[in-house]
Amino acid sequence: MTKTWFITGASSGLGRIMTEKLLDRGDRVIGTARRTDALSDLASAHADRLHVVPLDLIDTAAVRAAIDQAFERVGRIDVVVSNAGYGLFGAGEELSDEQIDRQIATNLTGSIQLVRASLPHLRSQGGGRIVQVSSEGGQIAYPGFSLYHASKWGIEGFVEAVAQEVAPFGIDFIIAEPGPTGTNFGAALDHAELSEIYEETPAGKVRRLIAGGEFVIRGDAANTVDAIIEAADSDHPPLRLALGSTAYENIRAALTKRLDALEAQRDIALSADDKED
């Protein structure tokens, strides 16, 4: 059955590959991008099934208008894919206020507002699905990516709560969590101004790995997109979808470590209860 998808950040990376694959199988796509000319080739080849919308997620009014116009244009949207975002690298102390504000405005606030704008329409049509593209960085943390992690941990918490709120309306969510994947994520990183103070710290080590091209990337972008589409097509998708061996291994190790730490604190935790209960 042909589906209609709304995809942010459709001009590059996973969003571009997803748009191509969906069009190739005959689906309809409303794709957003800050530079719509980056999708001109696909728009020409699939003029009847691809509608391109200029959008920057930091503009909340534009996000609402884009969603409203999309539903008005096609009537029903089966899957909303919140994909647009980027990485910010630098020790927390190194980052500028402007870099922090834009990272949160794009990755967190922008994604939140996209979801909020979509919900009334999905309720009205009797349900639908929202795919939030997060990362393994929504459950683990690398030194040097503090604000990126803040945005991803934040959106995952928001989605987990909202998913419970709207389940009675037939709306469900998938949080996609790719590990390092062969996209242009690294090339598009925003970097803080380097401080020598952090050169010999874990943040400095990660910086050197990135600069030297030594950061191990196991994930395949096309396979990652295939897995997301398959989950979005399924009747009962998981709330969280780890993608790639690195994501699986790192998330599993982080959860195991946190669970072990929690169990070790059991007596302390219980001691904080009201003893008269």
pLDDT in tens, 2-45: 999 999 999 999 999 999 999 999 999 999 999 999 999 999 99
Return the pLDDT at 218: 87
Return the pLDDT at 209: 87
Return the pLDDT at 51: 96
Asked about 148 being catalytic, the answer comes back as yes
Cβ distance 133 to 174 under 8 Å?
no
Residue 81, φ and ψ in degrees, nearest 5: -110, 110
Q: Decide if 144 is inside a domain.
A: yes
Q: Decide if 23 is inside a domain.
A: yes
Euclidean distance between CA atoms 14 and 20, whole angstroms = 10
- The one catalytic residue in 12, 82, 151, 152 is 152
Question: What three-state secondary structure class fits 61?
Answer: helix
Q: Which residues make Cβ contacts (< 8 Å) with residue 235, sequence separation at least 6?
A: none
Tens digit of each residue's pLDDT (9 = 90 or more) over 50-60 = 999 999 999 99
Alpha helices in the chain (DSSP H): 13-24, 40-45, 60-74, 97-103, 111-124, 146-166, 202-211, 221-233, 245-264, 266-271
Residue in 21, 5, 4, 3 with CA at minimum distance from that of residue 221: 21
Give the CATH number for residue 210: 3.40.50.720
Rg (CA), the chain: 20
Q: Which two tokens stand for residue 173?
A: 């969510």
Euclidean distance between CA atoms 56 and 67, whole angstroms = 13
The whole domain housing 258 covers 4-271
Tens digit of each residue's pLDDT (9 = 90 or more) over 203-256 = 999 989 888 877 778 889 999 999 999 999 999 999 999 999 999 999 999 999
Q: Decide if 276 is inside a domain.
A: no
Euclidean distance between CA atoms 241 and 28, whole angstroms = 24
The model carries a pTM of 0.94
- The one catalytic residue in 135, 148, 151, 198 is 148
Asked about 257 being catalytic, the answer comes back as no
pLDDT bin (cut points 50, 70, 90) of residue 276 is confident
Euclidean distance between CA atoms 66 and 194, whole angstroms = 38
Contacts of 163-171 with C-beta under 8 Å, sequence gap 24+, read 163/239, 166/119, 166/122, 166/123, 169/122, 169/123, 169/126, 169/127, 170/126, 170/127, 170/128, 171/119, 171/122, 171/123, 171/127, 171/128, 171/129, 171/130
Report the domain count for the chain.
Answer: 1
- The one catalytic residue in 82, 118, 134, 151 is 134
pLDDT bin (cut points 50, 70, 90) of residue 277 is low
Return the pLDDT at 113: 98
Q: Decide if 33 is inside a domain.
A: yes
Mean pLDDT for 115-135 is 98
Asked about 248 being catalytic, the answer comes back as no
Cβ distance 15 to 4 under 8 Å?
no
Q: Decide if 131 is inside a domain.
A: yes
Cβ distance 11 to 39 under 8 Å?
yes
Euclidean distance between CA atoms 191 and 147, whole angstroms = 12
From 158-172, 185-199, 245-259, the region with the lowest mean pLDDT: 185-199
Q: Which residues make Cβ contacts (< 8 Å) with residue 259, sequence separation at least 6?
A: none
Tens digit of each residue's pLDDT (9 = 90 or more) over 67-104 = 999 999 999 999 999 999 999 999 999 999 999 999 99
